[in-house]
Chain A
Amino acid sequence: MSSETKQILTTDGIPLEASLKKAERKNKIKAFLLVAPLLLFLLITYIFPIGDMLMRSVDDKMVTEMLPKTFKSMEKWNGNEMPPEEVFKSFYLDFQKLVEEKRDGKLSTQLNYTKNGFKSILKKLRRKAKNFEEGNYKEQIMAVHKRWADIEYWLAIKRRAPAYTSSKYLKGIDMYKNEEGKIVNVEEDRRIHRILWLRTLEIAFFVTLLCFLMAYPIAHLLATLPMKYSNLLMICVLLPFWTSLLVRTASWMILLQQQGVVNDFFVMIGLVADDNRPEMMYNKTGTYVAMTQILLPFMVLPLYSVMKTISPSLMRAGKSLGGTPFVTFWKVYFPLTIPGIGAGCLLVFILAIGYYITPALVGGASGTLISNQIAFHMKSTLDWSFASAMGLMLLAGVLAIYWIYNKLVGIDNIKLG
């Protein structure tokens, strides 16, 4: 055919494409206006906070802004010997300014994150600096405390010069940048985050597996039983779903504690001795049991909605063609439920990986997850940038799982209803 395609005109002589666009413009605007409130809502409550979180997790401007002169004069310092007089002078001036503005406390907190021991020597410096004479600040500062004469502390200050840092992310996987700028593991006895990540993945995986094993038969029953019974069963599945999460978790606490209903029952039927009641709460067991029960509906519902669409005549066809019930199930029914399995597993896994309230209440020390650690840093240590960093790592993990799932199963294979 010829390289240039002939332009099609409408009967009025307007190019067809332009005419079509004009005709559809109104609908497009209408459609956009319809979604605009939601878009705005998402922007304000989702995109913006996540962006802010991302900034916060790498943001290290605070110290950069508090010690502007110091960092400027440090640029020329090579870090092999004690900094020159100029650095000490600018540090003194920056510090005096912070004291005047009463912001020196913040500085000491921040520097203390980088290296322990800054708090006390900054306090001491503040006290002594009132009587400093002009000139020769190096001598005077070094005289305040012997750590001020230690090059390590000055290097620690210098490490805070960049406005952005990856240190929070490294800390999240139990690593840090040492004095030489190399990324190394923290000492073995202080590695807590990696254990938490692994435990989170492990618990999320097994909760997903348990949910799947329990939900599959339930969903099958729901999809195949006569209406009368399936409605009742559906209510049984949904009833806990409508109950408050806290109430459900609290009821698990009543059931699982050492003097609780389950243990009493075990003792009554003689399964365990009265003085040897197993601990089923404040450990992984509690987290598994409670989370599985709470997340079960999220597995049942997608499975149900997929199974509902599978015609019972397919199973009949399989059997009439000579397949045993098992072969028919495995070759015909099961492959058709894979979209539902995918949707349910992805949903439960992603919910489980970020689960917070239930592990916090029944998990104890060995059953808490990474989200509990994030909450701990949000509420107790107030290290928000670290909490943000871990939150983003969690988000990245979830996106990675989503990506892998897409590669393996294909996201368009998911069916939620």
Chain B
Amino acid sequence: MSKNSEFVKFDKVDKSYDGKVLVVKDLNLDIAEGEFITMLGPSGSGKTTCLMMLAGFETPTNGEIFLDKNPISNIPPHKRGIGMVFQNYALFPHMTVYENLAFPLRVRKINKDDIEKKVDKALSMVSLSGFENRMPGQLSGGQQQRVAVARALVFDPQVVLMDEPLGALDKNLRESMQYEIKHIHESIGVTVVYVTHDQGEALTMSNRIAVFNDGKVQQLSSPDKLYEEPVNSFVAEFIGENNTFAGEVTNFQKDQCKVKLLNGSEIIANPISVKSNGDKTTVSLRPERALINTENKMDNNFKGKIEEVIYHGDHTRVRIDLLGNKEFILKVPNSSANMDIKMGNQINVSWNSYDARALDPK
């Protein structure tokens, strides 16, 4: 079976609620069959609107959405065959767990025996067998969430949408549910479109992540690429921690450039979105890519003063005043070699120019 790489296709989709502001701008997005794709972005970035358009609760102002090559803008939600898990679960409070799961099957006029089989299967998939006769109100948040997932999958939909489904759960439960959902996705191979504003969640679960901001997809790539190689300063800021230096390109070459910072010093960086000398830029560097007092040879070496030390158990966060940036963060693994990290000490900080990405100015 060859997988369709354009199973869901957003084609030049615009969306405006009031005719004045575009919430989604010229969205082009292809989702492959069986893929777990996450729309990640701050609130108001248009990601939920995209999901609602796909589910059929909002209509695109312009453009078209295709599902398996068929345009779906004029198909009402109940005929799209798309399962959805809602932020607040949206379980029917007056129905038992069994009736909740049977609802999508009953409206499809499936016969009773098959309904029973499918519901049993779906419940065992989320390890909730034996809960058939409970009311949703008698379940814990995590159990309700699992019922919601089972209900969205029980009728074998082509695509399942999840709108911040774990937002209401506490941290531990959220993490275990992340794995559970990921495993379910792997075992049944359904296409999942997942919306969240939690980057950790997105990085753990997805095949690909679409980072939304200001109604646009800023970057669409796999979690590791997104983290390691952000294409602009919004993505660099939004995903993970990030040290930035604002400056101006002075010596532009194809795979290396020099950036003159505001305090006059120059650093070597990897040109990503700068094109020539004189361009304004923000250089982004992941905290774990900079090392202290290292013996390795690196092309950026500077001295900084330790401003703050915060103990985190497995690692220590060190805030350093470096090259005029007082918010420069370093993550130092807790090993005996790093015992001289004390407030006020001068310290050597080094990094490779490849990891210092010269992006667009903020």
Contacts and interface: CB of A to CB of B under 8 A. Distances in A.
Give the one of B56, B91, B93 with max A CB within 10 A: B93
B92 interface: yes
B78 A325 contact: yes
Contacts of A328: 78
B107 A316 contact: no
A318 B94 contact: no
Contacts of B56: 319-320
B37 to A, nearest CB: 18
A324 B84 contact: no
Nearest to A328: B78
B131 interface: no
A316 B94 contact: no
Contact of B103 (A311, A324, A331): A331
Contacts of A311: 88, 90
Nearest to B55: A320
B79 to A, nearest CB: 8
Contacts, number: 67
Interface string B82-123: 111011101111100000000110011000000000000000
Interface string A43-77: 00000000000000000000000000000000000
Nearest to A338: B94
A313 interface: yes
A314 interface: yes
B155 A321 contact: yes
B78 A319 contact: yes
The SS class assigned to the A binding surface is helix
Contact of A319 (B76, B87, B152): B76
Contacts of A314: 90, 92
A323 interface: yes
A336 B90 contact: no
B258 interface: no
Contacts of A321: 78, 83-84, 103-104, 107, 151-152, 155
Nearest to B160: A320
Nearest to A316: B57
B77 interface: yes
B81 interface: yes
Interface residues of A, number: 19
A317 interface: yes
A335 interface: yes
A323 B83 contact: no
Nearest to A336: B94
Nearest to A323: B107
A332 interface: yes
Contacts of A336: 93-94
A135 interface: no
Contacts of B76: 319, 325
B104 A313 contact: no
Contacts of B91: 317
A242 B217 CA distance: 53
B15 to A, nearest CB: 17
A403 to B, nearest CB: 24
Interface in A335-358: 335-336
A314 B91 CA distance: 7
Given A325-B78, A332-B92, A320 B107 contact: no
Contact of B107 (A313, A317, A322, A335): A322
A279 B78 CA distance: 49
A317 B81 contact: no
A320 B84 contact: yes
Given A319-B78, A321-B103, A335 B94 contact: yes
Contacts of B55: 316, 320
Nearest to B93: A336
A101 to B, nearest CB: 70
A18 to B, nearest CB: 37
A313 B90 contact: yes
A327 interface: yes
Interface in B47-96: 55-57, 76-84, 86-88, 90-94
A157 to B, nearest CB: 64
Nearest to A335: B94
A336 B82 CA distance: 25
B328 to A, nearest CB: 44
Give the one of B83, B91, B94 with max A CB within 10 A: B94
Give the one of B77, B91, B108, B151 with max A CB within 10 A: B77
Contact of A317 (B79, B86, B94): B86
Nearest to B103: A321
A335 B100 CA distance: 14
B96 to A, nearest CB: 13
A327 to B, nearest CB: 6
A318 B55 CA distance: 12
A229 to B, nearest CB: 15
Contacts of B103: 318, 321, 323, 331
A317 B93 contact: no
B104 A316 contact: no
Give the one of A311, A316, A320, A331 with max B CB within 10 A: A320
Given A316-B77, A319-B78, 11 more contacts: A313-B86, A313-B88, A317-B91, A320-B83, A320-B152, A321-B104, A322-B79, A322-B155, A323-B103, A323-B104, A336-B93
10 contacts: A313-B88, A317-B90, A318-B92, A320-B78, A320-B80, A320-B82, A320-B84, A320-B152, A323-B104, A328-B78
Question: Which A-B residue pairs are the 4 nearest by beta carbons?
Answer: A321-B104, A317-B90, A320-B84, A313-B90
